[in-house]
Every structure is written in C-alpha cells, then in structure tokens.
Amino acid sequence: MFTKKKDPNPDEGWYYNTKTNQVEHGDVGKAIDRLGPYPDRASAERALETAHERTQAADQADKNWGSGA
C-alpha cells in the first residue's frame, strides 16, 4: 500500500483544495485538486470568488476584443 511521505521542503504558499473545500498550507493535497498558491490564508479562503471574478473579467475582455472596443 502506498503511504504518502511528508514533504521535507513544503511549499510556503496557501492553497484551496476543491475536493475537500479546505484551505491547506505546508503538506498539501494533489495538484489537480487545488487552487493557488496564495500569499496568505485569507486569500486562499477567497479562492473560488477570485476564480469567478477572473473568469468574468476574461469573458468581458473577450467580448470587448471581438467588438473592437
């Protein structure tokens, strides 16, 4: 059976795990399940909101580019 080893050099960033809906720091889950890194816990807690805001901004930029605005 595979046992996860503790990383001797953990990443200093904060992450939001989309599978567990938890903020992680240091020993983190799989890369595919997380957003980040973020500079602090509060930013990681807002990860889904930040992603939504960035998606809306990118969608608006696409509309503006297509219209020549």
4 located within any domain = no
Residues 44, 14 contacting (CB under 8 angstroms) = yes
The pLDDT of 26-42, averaged and rounded, is 92
**How many independent structural domains does the chain possess?**
1
* pTM reported for the whole predicted model: 0.74
The pLDDT of 40-66, averaged and rounded, is 95
- Rounded (10°) CA dihedral 5, 28, 21, 56: -150
1 located within any domain = no
57 vs 29: which has the higher pLDDT: 57
The pLDDT of 4-15, averaged and rounded, is 73
Q: Is the pLDDT of residue 68 over 60?
A: yes
15 located within any domain = yes
53 located within any domain = yes
Q: Which domain holds residue 18?
A: 11-67
24 located within any domain = yes
The pLDDT of 29-38, averaged and rounded, is 93
Nearest to 16 by CA among 47, 39, 56: 47
16 located within any domain = yes
5 located within any domain = no
pLDDT at 6: 66
